Amino acid sequence: AQTVTQSQPEMSVQEAETVTLSCTYDTSESDYYLFWYKQPPSRQMILVIRQEAYKQQNATENRFSVNFQKAAKSFSLKISDSQLGDAAMYFCAYSTGTYKYIFGTGTRLKVLA
Amino acid sequence: GAGVSQSPRYKVAKRGQDVALRCDPISGHVSLFWYQQALGQGPEFLTYFQNEAQLDKSGLPSDRFFAERPEGSVSTLKIQRTQQEDSAVYLCASSFALAAETQYFGPGTRLLVL
């Protein structure tokens, strides 16, 4: 069965600094999709970034980038120039391309002024 | 619509009561998903609709849970005879097509069963 593990329940970062959130997953599939979602206290989940497993190039969206290591089954999120508005729960999610997402347990990110 | 909306945002129920949670997906989105998010956990899949057809209900925890989407847009998740373990946030998401597509989430309904 596919699983997603986020081993960091909570992380802190100083404003303007860089932080990396970890995610590992377990699957026997070769084609799949990986996502990072942000969930602010208002609870609406927002897509931060997505990665297709067949693409070797790491996805980037402005200050957000991923380090996708397919062989190691690792998918970490790097947030550069952290801002106060980045404070939220971050969830890593996996999908085989069918409709089911499998989520990790989340990492709470605190941004310190 | 501008985004996925859910109502009510908060619901308190006495154990044994029936509740109905509503989801309005983004206009034109074919796929609709329900998730249950327990405190401190990630969302867990409950059920999936493609238009009005419920193609997967394997995540529904018991036969007290029922979901419908009769006209292929608005969906209702109904929980009968609520139990304390049903307390959670119920998230609805929609996507334009199938799941390689990004899922867009609503704000959730926080259900507290006393």
Separation of alpha carbons A14 and A76, rounded Å? 19
List chain A pLDDT tens, one digit each, 113 residues.
789 999 999 999 999 999 999 999 999 888 899 999 999 887 789 999 999 888 888 988 899 999 999 999 999 999 999 999 999 999 999 988 677 889 999 999 999 99
Residue B99 in this model has a pLDDT that exceeds 60: no
Q: How many CB atoms lie within 10 A of CB B55?
A: 12
Separation of alpha carbons A45 and A64, rounded Å? 16
Q: What number of H helices and E strands is found in chain B?
A: 0, 11
B56-82 pLDDT, tens digit per residue, is 999 999 999 999 999 999 999 999 999
DSSP type of residue A54: T
The percent of residues in chain B predicted with pLDDT above 90, rounded, is: 87
- Interface contact flag, A44 B42, Cβ < 8 Å: no
B34-45 pLDDT, tens digit per residue, is 999 998 889 999
Q: How many CB atoms lie within 10 A of CB B21?
A: 20
Count contacts between A and B (CB, < 8 Å). Answer: 61
Cα Rg, chain B, nearest whole Å: 13
Does residue B26 contact residue B4 with C-beta atoms inside 8 Å?
Answer: yes
Does residue A108 contact residue A6 with C-beta atoms inside 8 Å?
Answer: no
pLDDT value at residue A29: 86
Which residues in chain A are closer than 8 Å to B40, comparing Cβ atoms?
105-106
pLDDT value at residue B52: 95
Which secondary-structure segment (H or E) carries A48? Answer: strand A46-52
- Interface contact flag, B100 A95, Cβ < 8 Å: yes
Q: How many CB atoms lie within 10 A of CB A107?
A: 22
- Chain B nearest CA to A33, separation (Å): 7
Tokens of A57: 């190039």
Which of A96, A47, A48, A33 is CA-nearest to residue B4?
A47
Residue B21 in this model has a pLDDT that exceeds 70: yes
- Interface contact flag, A37 B105, Cβ < 8 Å: yes
Which of the residues B48, B103, B110, B111 would you substitute to probe the A interface, choosing the one with the greatest number of A C-beta atoms within 10 Å?
Answer: B103
A78-109 pLDDT, tens digit per residue, is 999 999 999 999 999 998 867 788 999 999 99
Does residue B47 contact residue B94 with C-beta atoms inside 8 Å?
Answer: no
Q: Report the relative pairing of strands A88-95 and A107-112 from DSSP bridges.
A: antiparallel
Separation of alpha carbons A41 and B35, rounded Å? 18
